Amino acid sequence: MPSPTLRTERQLLRAGARFVAGMDEVGRGALAGPVSVGAVVVDATTRTAPPGLADSKLLSARGRDLLVPALVRWGCAWAVGHASAGEVDEVGIVAALRRAGTRALEQVEQVLGPVTTVLLDGSHDWLTVPADLFDDGDGRVVHMRVRADQTCASVAAASVVAKVTRDALMTELDAEHPVYGWAKNKGYGAQAHLAALAEHGLSPVHRRSWRLPGPCDRDDER
């Protein structure tokens, strides 16, 4: 598979963008832990991406870890924003993604100033607040590209930093709640995780609005 390039980002920069923020999410389908969004910003001076860059799903854990030091030096700025399991329960997964993505952008804007051009993977814009007659919006223009995490270097980089950052958080949470095996499954629905839910019930960082297996009478005890 060809390596991701800056072709799309450079088109947007030539069209007038000062910065382009490639963004990607991780943890959307997990049963526990936050949903996380990475942002990696490039501009007209950004060079070709570090060798070995690919969508995080196509890399081993070691491969992702080895790439991160080069990636954080490569772009103009980078960040990862999170929305907790409680926020997923409160507002739903799409709005939680929007919160996490907005937090990532706010972090890079503290370094760079306004970043108004965003490149997202897929065909659904989860970042933009639904149109409101009385709301002028935040001024950002979001460009969607199917398979951007495989073809656009800034989005691939965002997927890697988001995955590595969230995996590290889940490993830390595993030390607090070791029965669920999060150091290995990162909060997704692996068999060992499902078995632990059936035996022990929900932890404080499970997504309680989701229909998770477990003893119904354990919920209020934890």
How does pLDDT run across 13-40, given as a tens digit for each residue? 999 999 999 999 999 999 999 999 999 9
pLDDT at 149: 95
Closest CA to 34 of 77, 80, 69, 68: 80
- Give the H/E segment covering residue 207: none
- Could you tell me the pLDDT band of residue 221, with boundaries at 50, 70 and 90? very low
**Tokens linked to 178:** 């070791």
pLDDT at 210: 87
**Tokens linked to 35:** 């949903």
48 and 42 Cβ atoms separated by less than 8 Å: no
193 and 206 Cβ atoms separated by less than 8 Å: no
pLDDT at 180: 97
Residue 6 has pLDDT above 50, yes or no: yes
pLDDT at 130: 79
Q: pLDDT tens across 143-178, in order? A: 999 999 999 999 999 999 999 999 999 999 999 999
Residue 125 has pLDDT above 60, yes or no: yes
What are the CB-based long-range contacts (under 8 Å, 24+) for 87-94?
Answer: 88/34, 88/35, 88/207, 88/209, 89/207, 89/208, 89/209, 93/28, 93/35, 94/126
Q: Which residue type does 200 have?
A: H
Region 31-52 average pLDDT: 97
Alpha-carbon distances of 92 from 85, 89, 97, 210, rounded to whole Å: 10, 6, 9, 10
- Could you tell me the pLDDT band of residue 211, with boundaries at 50, 70 and 90? confident
Rounded Cα gap, residues 212 and 194, in angstroms: 8
pLDDT at 218: 41
User: How much is the pTM?
Assistant: 0.92
Sheet strand arrangement including 117-121: 77-83, 35-42, 20-26, 117-121, 141-145
Region 45-67 average pLDDT: 95
